[in-house]
A and B are shown apart, each in its own frame.
Chain A
Protein backbone atom coordinates (compact mmCIF):
# COMPACT_ATOMS: atom_id res chain seq x y z
CA UNK A 1 0.00 0.00 0.00
CA UNK A 2 1.54 3.27 -1.11
CA UNK A 3 0.93 6.57 0.58
CA UNK A 4 0.95 9.57 -1.69
CA UNK A 5 1.06 13.13 -0.41
CA UNK A 6 0.11 15.85 -2.84
CA UNK A 7 0.58 19.55 -2.15
CA UNK A 8 -0.23 18.99 1.51
CA UNK A 9 -0.64 22.11 3.58
CA UNK A 10 -1.63 22.27 7.23
CA UNK A 11 -2.39 25.36 9.26
CA UNK A 12 -2.93 25.04 13.00
CA UNK A 13 -5.89 26.96 14.41
CA UNK A 14 -6.88 28.16 10.95
CA UNK A 15 -8.58 31.57 10.90
CA UNK A 16 -7.64 32.65 14.40
CA UNK A 17 -4.92 34.90 15.82
CA UNK A 18 -2.96 31.72 16.61
CA UNK A 19 -2.91 30.60 13.02
CA UNK A 20 0.36 28.95 12.17
CA UNK A 21 1.41 27.25 9.00
CA UNK A 22 3.08 24.02 10.01
CA UNK A 23 3.39 22.33 6.65
CA UNK A 24 3.07 23.62 3.12
CA UNK A 25 3.35 22.35 -0.43
CA UNK A 26 4.61 18.96 0.58
CA UNK A 27 4.42 16.22 -2.03
CA UNK A 28 6.12 12.86 -1.97
CA UNK A 29 5.44 9.18 -2.13
CA UNK A 30 5.95 6.52 0.50
CA UNK A 31 6.35 3.39 -1.60
CA UNK A 32 5.09 0.04 -0.35
CA UNK A 33 7.66 -2.21 1.28
CA UNK A 34 10.34 0.46 1.58
CA UNK A 35 11.78 2.36 4.49
CA UNK A 36 11.31 6.09 4.14
CA UNK A 37 12.97 8.41 6.63
CA UNK A 38 11.73 11.92 7.28
CA UNK A 39 14.41 14.10 8.81
CA UNK A 40 14.44 17.74 9.78
CA UNK A 41 15.31 20.18 12.48
CA UNK A 42 13.00 20.67 15.49
CA UNK A 43 9.91 22.55 14.34
CA UNK A 44 10.39 21.62 10.69
CA UNK A 45 6.88 20.20 10.52
CA UNK A 46 7.77 16.54 10.43
CA UNK A 47 5.59 15.57 13.38
CA UNK A 48 2.62 17.43 11.91
CA UNK A 49 3.22 15.73 8.62
CA UNK A 50 3.16 12.28 10.13
CA UNK A 51 -0.30 12.86 11.62
CA UNK A 52 -1.57 13.04 8.05
CA UNK A 53 -0.36 9.55 7.29
CA UNK A 54 -3.33 7.94 8.99
CA UNK A 55 -5.82 10.77 8.76
CA UNK A 56 -5.45 12.01 12.34
CA UNK A 57 -5.14 15.39 10.67
CA UNK A 58 -6.81 16.40 7.48
CA UNK A 59 -4.77 18.71 5.25
CA UNK A 60 -6.12 22.26 5.10
CA UNK A 61 -5.32 22.05 1.41
CA UNK A 62 -4.01 19.31 -0.84
CA UNK A 63 -4.61 15.61 -0.47
CA UNK A 64 -3.21 12.43 1.03
CA UNK A 65 -3.82 9.18 -0.75
CA UNK A 66 -3.57 6.20 1.57
CA UNK A 67 -3.95 2.97 -0.39
CA UNK A 68 -7.20 3.41 -2.24
CA UNK A 69 -8.59 6.09 0.09
CA UNK A 70 -8.03 9.77 -0.48
CA UNK A 71 -8.19 12.23 2.38
CA UNK A 72 -8.77 15.72 1.09
CA UNK A 73 -9.33 19.13 2.58
CA UNK A 74 -12.87 20.35 3.00
CA UNK A 75 -14.46 16.95 2.83
CA UNK A 76 -16.04 15.21 5.80
CA UNK A 77 -14.46 11.83 6.12
CA UNK A 78 -16.48 9.01 7.53
CA UNK A 79 -15.16 5.81 8.96
CA UNK A 80 -11.43 6.37 9.14
CA UNK A 81 -10.88 3.17 11.06
CA UNK A 82 -9.82 1.09 8.05
CA UNK A 83 -7.07 3.63 7.37
CA UNK A 84 -5.89 3.56 10.97
CA UNK A 85 -5.89 -0.21 11.00
CA UNK A 86 -3.50 -0.27 8.06
CA UNK A 87 -1.26 2.57 9.19
CA UNK A 88 0.01 2.19 12.76
CA UNK A 89 1.77 5.11 14.42
CA UNK A 90 4.24 4.79 17.26
CA UNK A 91 4.28 8.30 18.70
CA UNK A 92 7.13 9.98 20.47
CA UNK A 93 7.18 8.73 24.06
CA UNK A 94 4.50 6.12 23.38
CA UNK A 95 4.66 4.97 27.02
CA UNK A 96 2.37 7.93 27.75
CA UNK A 97 -0.52 6.20 26.06
CA UNK A 98 -0.61 3.19 28.39
CA UNK A 99 -3.73 3.06 30.52
CA UNK A 100 -4.92 -0.47 31.19
CA UNK A 101 -4.63 -2.49 34.39
CA UNK A 102 -2.43 -5.12 32.83
CA UNK A 103 0.08 -5.22 30.03
CA UNK A 104 -2.02 -7.89 28.33
CA UNK A 105 -5.14 -5.72 28.28
CA UNK A 106 -3.22 -2.75 27.03
CA UNK A 107 -1.71 -4.57 24.10
CA UNK A 108 -5.13 -6.05 23.26
CA UNK A 109 -6.74 -2.59 23.21
CA UNK A 110 -5.68 -1.70 19.66
CA UNK A 111 -6.42 -5.01 17.94
CA UNK A 112 -9.80 -5.34 19.68
CA UNK A 113 -10.78 -1.84 18.58
CA UNK A 114 -10.30 -3.09 15.04
CA UNK A 115 -12.57 -6.07 15.58
CA UNK A 116 -10.03 -8.78 16.42
CA UNK A 117 -11.49 -11.41 18.76
CA UNK A 118 -10.33 -11.48 22.36
CA UNK A 119 -8.73 -14.87 21.94
CA UNK A 120 -6.77 -13.80 18.88
CA UNK A 121 -5.82 -10.49 20.52
CA UNK A 122 -4.38 -12.32 23.53
CA UNK A 123 -2.41 -14.58 21.27
CA UNK A 124 -1.04 -11.54 19.48
CA UNK A 125 -0.22 -9.84 22.79
CA UNK A 126 1.92 -12.74 23.91
CA UNK A 127 3.60 -12.94 20.51
CA UNK A 128 4.40 -9.25 20.13
CA UNK A 129 5.55 -8.87 23.71
CA UNK A 130 8.19 -11.49 22.96
CA UNK A 131 9.08 -9.74 19.71
CA UNK A 132 9.84 -6.46 21.50
CA UNK A 133 12.14 -8.36 23.83
CA UNK A 134 10.09 -8.56 27.00
CA UNK A 135 9.69 -11.63 29.22
CA UNK A 136 6.26 -13.22 29.10
CA UNK A 137 5.61 -12.91 32.83
CA UNK A 138 4.98 -9.17 32.61
CA UNK A 139 1.71 -9.82 30.74
CA UNK A 140 -0.27 -9.85 33.97
CA UNK A 141 1.59 -6.94 35.54
CA UNK A 142 0.42 -3.35 35.58
CA UNK A 143 2.22 -1.34 32.91
CA UNK A 144 2.78 1.39 35.51
CA UNK A 145 4.99 -0.95 37.54
CA UNK A 146 7.50 -1.26 34.69
CA UNK A 147 10.57 0.84 34.07
CA UNK A 148 10.47 3.61 31.46
CA UNK A 149 12.22 1.54 28.82
CA UNK A 150 9.98 -1.45 29.43
CA UNK A 151 6.87 0.73 29.22
CA UNK A 152 8.12 1.95 25.87
CA UNK A 153 8.44 -1.61 24.62
CA UNK A 154 4.97 -2.54 25.83
CA UNK A 155 3.47 0.52 24.13
CA UNK A 156 5.23 -0.37 20.90
CA UNK A 157 3.95 -3.94 21.19
CA UNK A 158 0.47 -2.42 21.49
CA UNK A 159 0.84 -0.80 18.09
CA UNK A 160 2.57 -3.79 16.47
CA UNK A 161 -0.24 -6.09 17.67
CA UNK A 162 -2.56 -4.20 15.34
CA UNK A 163 -0.38 -5.73 12.61
CA UNK A 164 -0.45 -2.67 10.37
CA UNK A 165 0.80 -2.68 6.79
CA UNK A 166 2.56 0.62 7.28
CA UNK A 167 4.38 1.42 10.49
CA UNK A 168 5.11 5.07 11.22
CA UNK A 169 7.72 5.70 13.91
CA UNK A 170 8.16 9.13 15.46
CA UNK A 171 11.53 9.23 17.21
CA UNK A 172 10.96 5.73 18.56
CA UNK A 173 14.27 5.61 20.39
CA UNK A 174 14.32 9.07 21.98
CA UNK A 175 15.35 8.81 25.61
CA UNK A 176 16.49 5.20 25.44
CA UNK A 177 19.98 4.05 26.33
CA UNK A 178 22.32 3.20 23.45
CA UNK A 179 21.76 -0.52 23.71
CA UNK A 180 17.99 -0.25 23.93
CA UNK A 181 18.13 2.12 21.00
CA UNK A 182 20.03 -0.30 18.78
CA UNK A 183 17.91 -3.28 19.79
CA UNK A 184 14.71 -1.38 19.11
CA UNK A 185 15.81 -0.17 15.69
CA UNK A 186 17.11 -3.60 14.71
CA UNK A 187 13.75 -5.07 15.68
CA UNK A 188 11.85 -2.64 13.49
CA UNK A 189 14.23 -3.24 10.64
CA UNK A 190 13.88 -6.99 10.97
CA UNK A 191 10.08 -6.71 10.82
CA UNK A 192 10.46 -4.55 7.77
CA UNK A 193 12.72 -7.05 6.04
CA UNK A 194 10.93 -10.23 7.13
CA UNK A 195 7.33 -9.17 6.83
CA UNK A 196 7.63 -6.48 4.22
CA UNK A 197 6.10 -3.86 6.49
CA UNK A 198 6.43 -0.39 5.03
CA UNK A 199 8.42 1.75 7.46
CA UNK A 200 8.23 5.49 7.89
CA UNK A 201 10.89 6.75 10.24
CA UNK A 202 10.67 10.27 11.58
CA UNK A 203 13.98 10.94 13.22
CA UNK A 204 16.67 13.32 14.39
CA UNK A 205 19.28 10.64 14.09
CA UNK A 206 21.28 10.86 10.89
CA UNK A 207 22.81 7.50 11.81
CA UNK A 208 19.42 5.78 11.73
CA UNK A 209 18.41 7.49 8.51
CA UNK A 210 21.70 6.43 6.88
CA UNK A 211 21.55 2.89 8.13
CA UNK A 212 17.93 1.97 7.53
CA UNK A 213 16.29 4.23 4.97
CA UNK A 214 15.84 3.55 1.28
CA UNK A 215 14.86 7.13 0.81
CA UNK A 216 15.24 10.24 2.95
CA UNK A 217 12.87 13.20 2.85
CA UNK A 218 14.28 16.40 4.32
CA UNK A 219 11.87 18.87 5.88
CA UNK A 220 12.84 22.47 6.60
CA UNK A 221 10.52 25.20 7.89
CA UNK A 222 7.42 23.27 6.91
CA UNK A 223 8.55 22.50 3.38
CA UNK A 224 10.09 19.50 1.76
CA UNK A 225 13.49 20.70 0.63
CA UNK A 226 15.06 17.48 -0.53
CA UNK A 227 14.33 13.87 -1.27
CA UNK A 228 17.07 11.39 -2.07
CA UNK A 229 18.59 8.01 -1.21
CA UNK A 230 20.79 8.36 1.87
CA UNK A 231 24.03 7.78 -0.01
CA UNK A 232 23.35 10.74 -2.24
CA UNK A 233 22.02 12.93 0.56
CA UNK A 234 24.90 12.43 2.96
CA UNK A 235 27.56 13.10 0.35
CA UNK A 236 26.70 16.78 0.53
CA UNK A 237 27.44 17.89 4.09
CA UNK A 238 27.27 21.59 3.29
CA UNK A 239 23.70 21.56 2.11
CA UNK A 240 22.62 19.51 5.11
CA UNK A 241 24.11 22.05 7.50
CA UNK A 242 22.08 24.76 5.77
CA UNK A 243 18.99 22.92 7.01
CA UNK A 244 20.44 22.59 10.49
CA UNK A 245 21.33 18.94 9.95
CA UNK A 246 24.58 17.05 10.03
CA UNK A 247 26.06 13.93 8.54
CA UNK A 248 26.52 10.57 10.29
CA UNK A 249 29.71 10.09 12.28
CA UNK A 250 30.89 7.40 9.86
CA UNK A 251 30.70 9.81 6.95
CA UNK A 252 32.52 12.45 8.98
CA UNK A 253 35.24 9.92 9.72
CA UNK A 254 35.48 8.94 6.06
CA UNK A 255 35.83 12.60 5.08
CA UNK A 256 38.63 13.06 7.58
CA UNK A 257 40.43 9.99 6.23
CA UNK A 258 40.05 11.32 2.75
CA UNK A 259 41.42 14.70 3.73
CA UNK A 260 44.41 13.11 5.44
CA UNK A 261 45.24 10.72 2.61
CA UNK A 262 44.34 13.07 -0.20
CA UNK A 263 42.38 10.33 -1.91
CA UNK A 264 38.65 10.02 -2.41
CA UNK A 265 36.76 6.81 -1.80
CA UNK A 266 34.57 5.60 -4.64
CA UNK A 267 31.43 5.91 -2.52
CA UNK A 268 30.09 7.33 0.72
CA UNK A 269 29.94 4.62 3.37
CA UNK A 270 26.79 4.73 5.46
CA UNK A 271 27.71 2.26 8.19
CA UNK A 272 30.80 1.31 10.10
CA UNK A 273 30.76 -2.16 8.48
CA UNK A 274 30.66 -0.67 5.02
CA UNK A 275 33.59 1.57 5.75
CA UNK A 276 35.57 -1.30 7.29
CA UNK A 277 34.90 -3.45 4.23
CA UNK A 278 36.00 -0.64 1.95
CA UNK A 279 39.21 -0.15 3.92
CA UNK A 280 39.91 -3.90 3.86
CA UNK A 281 39.68 -3.92 0.12
CA UNK A 282 42.19 -1.13 -0.04
CA UNK A 283 39.58 1.55 -0.61
CA UNK A 284 42.08 3.56 -2.60
CA UNK A 285 44.28 3.88 0.47
CA UNK A 286 47.62 2.22 0.67
Chain B
Protein backbone atom coordinates (compact mmCIF):
# COMPACT_ATOMS: atom_id res chain seq x y z
CA UNK B 1 0.00 0.00 0.00
CA UNK B 2 2.68 2.45 1.10
CA UNK B 3 4.88 1.88 -1.91
CA UNK B 4 2.13 3.33 -4.12
CA UNK B 5 1.93 6.59 -2.23
CA UNK B 6 3.59 9.31 -4.32
CA UNK B 7 3.07 12.33 -2.11
CA UNK B 8 6.46 13.96 -1.70
CA UNK B 9 8.27 11.61 -4.06
CA UNK B 10 10.33 12.65 -7.04
CA UNK B 11 9.95 10.84 -10.35
CA UNK B 12 12.88 11.30 -12.69
CA UNK B 13 11.90 12.05 -16.28
CA UNK B 14 12.66 14.55 -18.99
CA UNK B 15 9.77 16.93 -19.54
CA UNK B 16 9.15 20.65 -19.78
CA UNK B 17 8.05 20.69 -16.17
CA UNK B 18 11.14 18.79 -15.09
CA UNK B 19 13.43 21.21 -16.89
CA UNK B 20 11.87 24.35 -15.45
CA UNK B 21 13.79 26.49 -12.99
CA UNK B 22 12.80 25.42 -9.46
CA UNK B 23 12.32 29.08 -8.53
CA UNK B 24 9.79 29.46 -11.32
CA UNK B 25 8.03 26.29 -10.22
CA UNK B 26 7.86 27.45 -6.62
CA UNK B 27 6.46 30.85 -7.56
CA UNK B 28 4.12 29.09 -9.97
CA UNK B 29 2.70 26.73 -7.36
CA UNK B 30 2.36 29.34 -4.62
CA UNK B 31 0.76 31.79 -7.00
CA UNK B 32 -1.58 29.07 -8.23
CA UNK B 33 -2.65 28.39 -4.65
CA UNK B 34 -3.62 32.05 -4.30
CA UNK B 35 -5.19 32.35 -7.73
CA UNK B 36 -7.46 29.35 -7.37
CA UNK B 37 -9.33 31.20 -4.64
CA UNK B 38 -10.52 33.72 -7.23
CA UNK B 39 -12.66 31.08 -8.91
CA UNK B 40 -16.15 30.89 -7.55
CA UNK B 41 -18.35 29.46 -10.27
CA UNK B 42 -18.47 26.47 -12.57
CA UNK B 43 -16.64 28.27 -15.35
CA UNK B 44 -13.86 29.45 -13.11
CA UNK B 45 -13.23 25.93 -11.82
CA UNK B 46 -13.47 24.50 -15.28
CA UNK B 47 -10.75 26.84 -16.52
CA UNK B 48 -8.59 26.06 -13.48
CA UNK B 49 -9.12 22.34 -14.07
CA UNK B 50 -8.12 22.61 -17.72
CA UNK B 51 -5.08 24.62 -16.66
CA UNK B 52 -4.11 21.95 -14.15
CA UNK B 53 -4.64 19.22 -16.71
CA UNK B 54 -2.39 21.03 -19.16
CA UNK B 55 0.30 21.33 -16.46
CA UNK B 56 0.07 17.59 -15.79
CA UNK B 57 0.44 16.92 -19.53
CA UNK B 58 3.55 19.09 -19.64
CA UNK B 59 5.06 17.10 -16.78
CA UNK B 60 4.93 13.87 -18.76
CA UNK B 61 3.06 12.07 -15.98
CA UNK B 62 -0.21 10.28 -16.58
CA UNK B 63 -3.36 11.46 -14.87
CA UNK B 64 -4.21 7.90 -13.91
CA UNK B 65 -0.91 7.48 -12.13
CA UNK B 66 -1.42 10.71 -10.21
CA UNK B 67 -4.92 9.75 -9.16
CA UNK B 68 -3.91 6.29 -7.99
CA UNK B 69 -0.91 7.71 -6.14
CA UNK B 70 -2.95 10.33 -4.35
CA UNK B 71 -5.70 7.97 -3.25
CA UNK B 72 -5.08 8.48 0.47
CA UNK B 73 -5.45 12.24 -0.04
CA UNK B 74 -8.59 11.60 -2.07
CA UNK B 75 -10.19 9.99 0.96
CA UNK B 76 -9.61 13.21 2.86
CA UNK B 77 -11.15 15.17 0.01
CA UNK B 78 -14.18 12.89 -0.08
CA UNK B 79 -14.57 13.44 3.64
CA UNK B 80 -14.49 17.22 3.19
CA UNK B 81 -17.07 16.85 0.44
CA UNK B 82 -19.48 15.01 2.72
CA UNK B 83 -18.89 17.41 5.56
CA UNK B 84 -19.82 20.37 3.39
CA UNK B 85 -22.74 18.52 1.90
CA UNK B 86 -24.38 17.77 5.22
CA UNK B 87 -23.48 20.76 7.30
CA UNK B 88 -23.77 23.81 5.07
CA UNK B 89 -27.09 25.46 5.91
CA UNK B 90 -27.82 28.00 3.20
CA UNK B 91 -30.12 28.37 0.21
CA UNK B 92 -33.06 26.11 -0.60
CA UNK B 93 -33.49 22.62 0.71
CA UNK B 94 -32.95 20.17 -2.15
CA UNK B 95 -33.38 16.90 -0.36
CA UNK B 96 -34.74 15.94 3.00
CA UNK B 97 -34.23 12.48 4.44
CA UNK B 98 -35.29 12.33 8.08
CA UNK B 99 -32.88 14.51 10.01
CA UNK B 100 -30.54 14.95 7.05
CA UNK B 101 -31.20 18.11 5.08
CA UNK B 102 -29.21 18.89 2.00
CA UNK B 103 -29.19 22.49 0.89
CA UNK B 104 -28.50 23.98 -2.49
CA UNK B 105 -25.56 25.93 -1.15
CA UNK B 106 -24.24 22.77 0.51
CA UNK B 107 -24.00 21.00 -2.82
CA UNK B 108 -22.36 24.03 -4.39
CA UNK B 109 -19.86 24.43 -1.58
CA UNK B 110 -19.11 20.73 -1.37
CA UNK B 111 -18.42 20.58 -5.06
CA UNK B 112 -16.27 23.71 -5.18
CA UNK B 113 -14.26 23.07 -2.06
CA UNK B 114 -13.38 19.52 -2.99
CA UNK B 115 -12.57 20.69 -6.50
CA UNK B 116 -10.28 23.38 -5.14
CA UNK B 117 -8.67 20.90 -2.81
CA UNK B 118 -8.11 18.39 -5.63
CA UNK B 119 -6.53 20.95 -7.93
CA UNK B 120 -4.28 22.20 -5.15
CA UNK B 121 -3.10 18.70 -4.30
CA UNK B 122 -2.43 17.93 -7.95
CA UNK B 123 -0.47 21.11 -8.52
CA UNK B 124 1.62 20.84 -5.37
CA UNK B 125 2.30 17.16 -6.09
CA UNK B 126 3.47 18.14 -9.56
CA UNK B 127 6.08 20.35 -7.93
CA UNK B 128 7.54 17.54 -5.83
CA UNK B 129 7.11 14.92 -8.54
CA UNK B 130 9.07 16.91 -11.12
CA UNK B 131 11.65 18.59 -8.88
CA UNK B 132 14.32 16.91 -6.82
CA UNK B 133 14.26 17.91 -3.15
CA UNK B 134 17.67 19.48 -3.63
CA UNK B 135 16.41 21.72 -6.42
CA UNK B 136 13.41 22.73 -4.36
CA UNK B 137 15.68 23.73 -1.52
CA UNK B 138 18.03 25.60 -3.81
CA UNK B 139 15.11 27.43 -5.35
CA UNK B 140 13.59 28.29 -2.02
CA UNK B 141 16.84 29.48 -0.61
CA UNK B 142 17.49 31.65 -3.62
CA UNK B 143 13.99 33.13 -3.40
CA UNK B 144 14.35 33.84 0.30
CA UNK B 145 17.88 35.22 0.01
CA UNK B 146 16.86 38.89 0.00
CA UNK B 147 15.33 38.32 3.45
CA UNK B 148 18.72 37.47 4.89
CA UNK B 149 19.26 41.20 5.29
CA UNK B 150 16.67 41.24 8.03
CA UNK B 151 18.31 38.20 9.68
CA UNK B 152 15.86 35.71 8.27
CA UNK B 153 17.48 32.21 8.40
CA UNK B 154 16.86 31.39 4.73
CA UNK B 155 19.50 28.70 4.47
CA UNK B 156 18.45 26.94 7.66
CA UNK B 157 14.82 27.01 6.65
CA UNK B 158 15.62 25.57 3.24
CA UNK B 159 17.72 22.87 4.83
CA UNK B 160 14.98 21.94 7.28
CA UNK B 161 12.53 21.70 4.44
CA UNK B 162 14.76 19.54 2.33
CA UNK B 163 15.43 17.20 5.24
CA UNK B 164 11.72 16.89 5.93
CA UNK B 165 10.98 16.16 2.27
CA UNK B 166 13.88 13.77 2.03
CA UNK B 167 12.56 11.69 4.91
CA UNK B 168 8.98 11.29 3.74
CA UNK B 169 9.71 8.25 1.55
CA UNK B 170 12.10 6.82 4.12
CA UNK B 171 9.47 7.00 6.83
CA UNK B 172 6.90 5.52 4.47
CA UNK B 173 9.13 2.55 3.78
CA UNK B 174 9.83 2.20 7.45
CA UNK B 175 6.12 2.25 8.28
CA UNK B 176 5.61 -0.52 5.78
CA UNK B 177 8.43 -2.57 7.28
CA UNK B 178 7.27 -2.22 10.87
CA UNK B 179 3.69 -2.89 9.84
CA UNK B 180 4.78 -6.17 8.27
CA UNK B 181 6.78 -7.11 11.36
CA UNK B 182 3.81 -6.51 13.65
CA UNK B 183 1.46 -8.30 11.27
CA UNK B 184 3.78 -11.28 11.46
CA UNK B 185 3.26 -11.10 15.22
CA UNK B 186 -0.47 -11.36 14.70
CA UNK B 187 -1.44 -7.70 14.75
CA UNK B 188 -4.50 -7.11 12.63
CA UNK B 189 -4.81 -3.60 11.27
CA UNK B 190 -7.36 -4.13 8.57
CA UNK B 191 -10.23 -5.95 10.22
CA UNK B 192 -12.05 -6.22 13.48
CA UNK B 193 -13.86 -3.56 15.48
CA UNK B 194 -12.64 0.06 15.30
CA UNK B 195 -11.39 -0.02 18.87
CA UNK B 196 -9.00 -2.87 18.11
CA UNK B 197 -7.81 -1.23 14.94
CA UNK B 198 -6.96 1.99 16.73
CA UNK B 199 -5.13 -0.06 19.33
CA UNK B 200 -3.17 -1.78 16.57
CA UNK B 201 -1.66 1.58 15.61
CA UNK B 202 0.32 1.87 18.84
CA UNK B 203 2.77 -0.94 17.97
CA UNK B 204 3.32 0.85 14.68
CA UNK B 205 3.70 4.43 15.91
CA UNK B 206 6.09 3.84 18.79
CA UNK B 207 8.83 2.09 16.80
CA UNK B 208 8.35 4.67 14.07
CA UNK B 209 8.90 7.57 16.47
CA UNK B 210 11.83 5.88 18.15
CA UNK B 211 13.48 5.31 14.77
CA UNK B 212 12.74 8.82 13.55
CA UNK B 213 14.40 10.37 16.61
CA UNK B 214 17.37 8.05 16.27
CA UNK B 215 17.69 8.97 12.62
CA UNK B 216 17.52 12.68 13.40
CA UNK B 217 20.25 12.32 15.97
CA UNK B 218 22.46 10.33 13.60
CA UNK B 219 21.94 12.88 10.89
CA UNK B 220 22.87 15.75 13.19
CA UNK B 221 26.03 13.93 14.23
CA UNK B 222 26.93 13.10 10.65
CA UNK B 223 26.53 16.73 9.66
CA UNK B 224 28.59 17.94 12.56
CA UNK B 225 31.51 15.59 11.96
CA UNK B 226 31.62 16.79 8.38
CA UNK B 227 31.98 20.34 9.61
CA UNK B 228 28.56 21.71 8.80
CA UNK B 229 28.35 25.41 9.69
CA UNK B 230 25.31 26.69 7.89
CA UNK B 231 25.18 28.53 4.62
CA UNK B 232 28.08 30.84 5.36
CA UNK B 233 30.41 31.14 2.41
CA UNK B 234 28.85 28.18 0.71
CA UNK B 235 28.97 28.07 -3.07
CA UNK B 236 26.59 26.11 -5.24
CA UNK B 237 27.38 23.27 -7.59
CA UNK B 238 24.03 23.52 -9.35
CA UNK B 239 23.46 26.99 -10.70
CA UNK B 240 19.90 28.06 -11.28
CA UNK B 241 19.23 29.42 -14.75
CA UNK B 242 16.08 31.33 -15.52
CA UNK B 243 14.93 30.65 -19.07
CA UNK B 244 12.24 31.79 -21.45
CA UNK B 245 9.96 28.88 -20.56
CA UNK B 246 9.99 29.99 -16.93
CA UNK B 247 8.84 33.45 -17.85
CA UNK B 248 6.21 31.89 -20.11
CA UNK B 249 4.92 29.69 -17.31
CA UNK B 250 4.48 32.69 -15.04
CA UNK B 251 2.81 34.61 -17.86
CA UNK B 252 0.34 31.77 -18.30
CA UNK B 253 -0.49 32.14 -14.62
CA UNK B 254 -1.18 35.84 -15.05
CA UNK B 255 -3.51 34.97 -17.92
CA UNK B 256 -5.23 32.39 -15.72
CA UNK B 257 -5.63 34.94 -12.94
CA UNK B 258 -7.00 37.43 -15.45
CA UNK B 259 -9.47 34.90 -16.85
CA UNK B 260 -10.69 33.86 -13.43
CA UNK B 261 -11.09 37.46 -12.32
CA UNK B 262 -13.02 38.22 -15.49
CA UNK B 263 -15.38 35.33 -14.91
CA UNK B 264 -15.89 36.24 -11.31
CA UNK B 265 -16.62 39.93 -11.66
CA UNK B 266 -17.86 40.60 -15.15
CA UNK B 267 -19.30 37.53 -16.75
Q: A-B pairs with CB below 8 Å: how many?
A: 65
- Give bound CA distance, A135 to B106, whole Å: 64
Interface: A44 (CB within 8 A): no
Q: Is the CB of A84 within 8 A of B69?
A: no
Given contacts A96-B211, A113-B188, A144-B210, contact A91 B65 (CB under 8 A): no
Which one of A17, A54, A97, A144 has the greatest number of beta carbons of chain B within 10 Å? A97
Indicate the size class of the contact surface on chain B. Answer: 20 to 34
Given contacts A51-B180, A97-B178, A144-B210, contact A84 B4 (CB under 8 A): no
- Give bound CA distance, A109 to B185, whole Å: 8
Q: Please name the 9 residue pairs, one residue from A and one from B, whose CB atoms are nearest each other, closest first.
A: A113-B186, A99-B206, A110-B185, A97-B181, A89-B184, A99-B203, A114-B186, A56-B180, A91-B181
Interface: A98 (CB within 8 A): yes
Interface: A85 (CB within 8 A): yes
B187 to chain A, nearest CB (A): 6
| Contact for B185 among A16, A51, A96, A159, CB less than 8 A | A159
| Contact for B207 among A16, A54, A98, A159, CB less than 8 A | A98
Contact sample, A vs B, 20 pairs, CB 8 Å cutoff = A13-B4, A16-B65, A16-B69, A17-B61, A18-B3, A51-B180, A84-B183, A84-B184, A85-B186, A89-B184, A91-B181, A94-B181, A96-B177, A96-B207, A97-B178, A97-B181, A113-B187, A113-B188, A114-B186, A162-B186
Interface: A28 (CB within 8 A): no
Interface: A12 (CB within 8 A): yes
Interface: A81 (CB within 8 A): yes
Interface: A246 (CB within 8 A): no
- Give bound CA distance, A126 to B80, whole Å: 50
Q: Is the CB of A96 within 8 A of B188?
A: no
Which one of A84, A96, A110 has the greatest number of beta carbons of chain B within 10 Å? A96
CB interface residues, B 45-92, toward A, < 8 Å: 61, 65, 68-69
Interface: B261 (CB within 8 A): no
Residues of B within 8 A of A94 (CB): 181
- Give bound CA distance, A18 to B69, whole Å: 11
Indicate the size class of the contact surface on chain A. Answer: 20 to 34
Interface: B182 (CB within 8 A): yes
Interface: B251 (CB within 8 A): no
CB interface residues, B 180-234, toward A, < 8 Å: 180-188, 202-203, 206-207, 210-211
- Output the nearest chain A residue to B12 by Cβ-Cβ distance: A17
B181 to chain A, nearest CB (A): 4
Q: Is the CB of B184 within 8 A of A12?
A: no
Residues of B within 8 A of A13 (CB): 3-4
B142 to chain A, nearest CB (A): 30
CB interface residues, B 1-42, toward A, < 8 Å: 3-4, 11
Residues of A within 8 A of B182 (CB): 97
Residues of B within 8 A of A159 (CB): 184-185
Given contacts A84-B186, A91-B184, A162-B186, contact A16 B211 (CB under 8 A): no
A247 to chain B, nearest CB (A): 32
A130 to chain B, nearest CB (A): 20
B208 to chain A, nearest CB (A): 9
B206 to chain A, nearest CB (A): 4
Residues of B within 8 A of A110 (CB): 185-186
B196 to chain A, nearest CB (A): 10
Which one of A89, A113, A144 has the greatest number of beta carbons of chain B within 10 Å? A113
Interface: A158 (CB within 8 A): yes
Interface: A88 (CB within 8 A): yes
Residues of A within 8 A of B211 (CB): 96
CB interface residues, A 109-156, toward B, < 8 Å: 109-110, 113-114, 144
